[in-house]
Amino acid sequence: METAWFVIVTLMLAMYVVLDGFDFGVGMVYPFVAQTEAERRTALTSIGPVWNANEVWLIAAGAVLFFAYPRAYAAGFSGFYLALILVLWLLIFRGLAVELRAQVDHVLWRQAWDSAFTMSSVLLAIVFGTALGNLIRGVPLNQDGYFFVPLWTDFLPGSAPGILDWFTVLLGLTSAVILAFHGANYLVMKTEGLLYQRAVAAARILGWVSAGYTALTVMAVPMVQPSLALNFSRNPVVYLAPLIGAIALGYSLYFRLCRRDTAAFLASSLFIFLMLVSVMFGMYPYILVATTDRAFSLTVFNASTDLYGLTAGIGWFVGGFLLILAYQIYLHSQFLGKVRPDDAH
């Protein structure tokens, strides 16, 4: 049951990054591809009906983590308190930007919220990528299962690292570039005219940059956390996840060249999903790796709730998961196709 809930948490987080990730990506490319007021309204309208619903996966993932692994939840939320508060404020500003931009018909008002939308999207992508880097590298857990991480120390991974070092910054930049590529693919799929052409150009450039950053990250991970390679060597079938993910990235670049817009977006979605799944497979059974003493690490076995709770929770989870999934499928099905100018209201 402990392993089953680890798979569930991984699935929830991966779904969130894929779905809300294209919202972040639209925000990052927004000032470069949307040049006129009509184009800006169209870009925002492309995510307007779905961005809020996509965040449901983040709330659900946090709830599942709290239920299944309360010790890991307590340690992570206390140790990363500053980063989590930053995420909260960035999510608030992004939501306000989308909802309030059109409330006052003044150029300075719109420009202020456009800036808030772009900056919050960029910083959210970087913060989430940096958080993933901290999970892979490890944190200085003590014997009580808690830790404190300063913003930075000597900018090197080690037994007493900071939130920021060369590895976590690399993960943050990789996350931002990949999600910008994902968002550009989404805009291509949803828009027409000059906005479509600029989004195509942005997606082509960002696709190749994403491939480069992904290659750098793949080379850096074994240097920082060699234990990930051990899990893959013990279970060679797990290599299928990063292999198929790399193929999906290649196909996304190919489909982009062929102007197969929906296929390019779906391929980038699969790439992001499988890369995250690959990381979690490599981390198993660790949830938080201790850089001080590996014995202090929190795993799916020593951080989980009792077996009765895990077993009883499966039934509740399946019902809730199916509700969320049905709602998401219905919502996205109602807004298929291109955004028309008269939809911008």
pLDDT band for 293, please (50, 70, 90 cuts).
Answer: confident
| Cβ(180)–Cβ(331) below 8 Å | no
Separation of CA 247 from chain center? 20
First to last CA, the chain: 48
Residue 231 is predicted with a pLDDT of: 79
Of the chain, the percentage scoring pLDDT greater than 70 comes to 99
Q: For all residues of the chain together, what is the average pLDDT?
A: 92
What is the average pLDDT across 8-28? 95
**Spatial separation of the C-alpha atoms in residues 251 and 256, rounded to whole Å:** 8
Burial class for 51, CB neighbours closer than 10 Å (0-12, 13-18, 19+): buried
How does DSSP assign 110-160, residue by residue?
A: HHHHHHHHHHHHHHHHHHHHHHHHHHHH-B---TTS-----SBSSSS-SSS
- pLDDT tens for residues 56-97? 999 999 999 999 999 999 999 999 988 899 999 999 999 999
Q: What is the pLDDT of residues 120-152, one digit of tens each?
A: 999 999 999 999 999 999 999 998 889 988 888
User: What confidence tier does 265 reach under pLDDT thresholds 50, 70, 90?
Assistant: very high
- Output the pLDDT for position 214: 96
Q: Taking a C-beta distance cutoff of 8 angstroms, is the pair 318, 85 a contact?
A: no
pTM of the model: 0.94
Tokens of 169: 């910054």
Listed range (147-156, 203-212, 264-273) with the worst mean pLDDT: 147-156
How many angstroms separate the CA atoms of 138 and 63, rounded? 23
Instruction: List, in sequence order, every residue forming a beta bridge with 288; answer none if it has no partner.
Output: 298
Residue percentage of the chain with pLDDT more than 90: 76
